[in-house]
Amino acid sequence: MTRSVSHMTRTVAGGSAERRQGSCHFLDIENKQACVDAAVSMDQLAQWMLPQGFLPPVITEFKGITVGGAVMGAALESSSFRYGQVSDVCTRFEFELADGQCVDLTPESDLFYGLSGSYGTIGRLKRVYLQVEPVQPWVELSARVCATEHVAEGLSASCTGDADFVDAMALDARRSVVMEGRYVASSSAQRIRFDRPWSKSFCQQVVEAAGRSKWSWSFTTYDYLFRYDLGAFWMGQFPTSRLAVTTFYNHRNDAPVEQARCLHQAFRESPPTLTPSGWLRRLLRAKLSSTHLYATLHRVSQEVLAHTFLVQDFYIPSDRVQEFLSYCHERVAIYPLWLCPMRGTATGQFLSPLFL
């Protein structure tokens, strides 16, 4: 079965749009395998497979990430404690080398394990063959609050249970929330949705619920997969500072260091919020998808970003997590932090960050 889909991309410099065609080529239910072009987005992949009751074991949290980008960029999600990265659920690649030669890569090929984390430096990924598994239409999430100093222990305990998904948010130096998701046919728990103009981001939902010790929510599987898309985790908080937005516009032609200084001052005088009001959510809604926030990011000078924000992924051995959290608090004290357990690998993924 084949469905043709499209993917829109823009150049980093913000120039004219480039249109790439990508296709979902087949879904082999009997052998639990699918074949898609690398340009197919996670959103398109999920919308194609979910009606048929199947998904790859790892789907990244932003709708606009492409399958190829997820492989080359070492992408992961809350099912990664069982399955590893997106590249770990792939069985074959069709790949174009730098000299234009097209090759098939399988686990027996020397390049197969070299793609994860290579970020396009080796060549261009054209087509991806993925494992797929049957899934349920709903996910029920169970959340519990714990002390941040014990969050690593909480994650380890969750990973040994029957959960299909495990992740956590460190809200500050004292409180963290450990979350377990399970596929279910139906759920009586409170439903969380993101398709309304006034819908709260997942981060806002968690922050506001963290006054309780534990709770349960239900999501459609689609909404759970992309729960962090609205607001791009919590980067969507920054447009809630009206002074910062106007400062950025008024100083857009200044030198990068001066722009950064003015933004720092604006954020001090008008701090962003993780819990915007309903009217502010409605006002900003069109600007808060991960796709739009990424486009905005690419329009900002890299020097300004470097002086204003810290956005960084770290892969930390499980026995060093608490030490790392203490270090982060002492040096930068930026919250929230997303904590996602990851299955390591013994395969030859020497360039991949999960090869520890």
Backbone torsions φ then ψ of 136, nearest 5 degrees: -95, 165
The per-residue pLDDT for 21 is 56
Alpha-carbon torsion 202, 76, 46, 4, what sign?
positive
Q: Which residues contact 112 (CB under 8 A, 6 or more apart)?
A: 93, 105, 106
Alpha-carbon torsion 63, 64, 67, 71, what sign?
negative
Alpha-carbon torsion 60, 63, 67, 72, what sign?
negative
Q: Which residues contact 83 (CB under 8 A, 6 or more apart)?
A: 57, 58, 89, 343
Mean pLDDT of 101-105: 95
Structure confidence at residue 92 as a pLDDT band (50, 70, 90): very high
Lowest mean pLDDT among 126-130, 162-166, 203-207, 239-243: 239-243
Give the tens place of pLDDT for each residue, 21-58.
578 888 888 999 999 999 999 999 999 999 999 999 99
CA distance 333 to 344: 28
Are the C-beta atoms of 201 and 288 separated by less than 8 Å? yes
Question: Would you say residue 330 has pLDDT above 50?
Answer: yes
Q: Which domains does the chain have, with CATH numbers?
A: 3-134 (3.30.465.10), 138-226+317-339 (no CATH), 235-308 (no CATH)
Give the tens place of pLDDT for each residue, 3-29.
333 333 333 333 333 445 578 888 888
The per-residue pLDDT for 353 is 73
Give the tens place of pLDDT for each residue, 179-237.
999 999 999 999 999 999 999 999 999 999 999 999 999 999 999 999 999 999 999 99
The per-residue pLDDT for 216 is 98
- For residues 297 and 157, the model is more confident at 157
Are the C-beta atoms of 328 and 314 separated by less than 8 Å? no
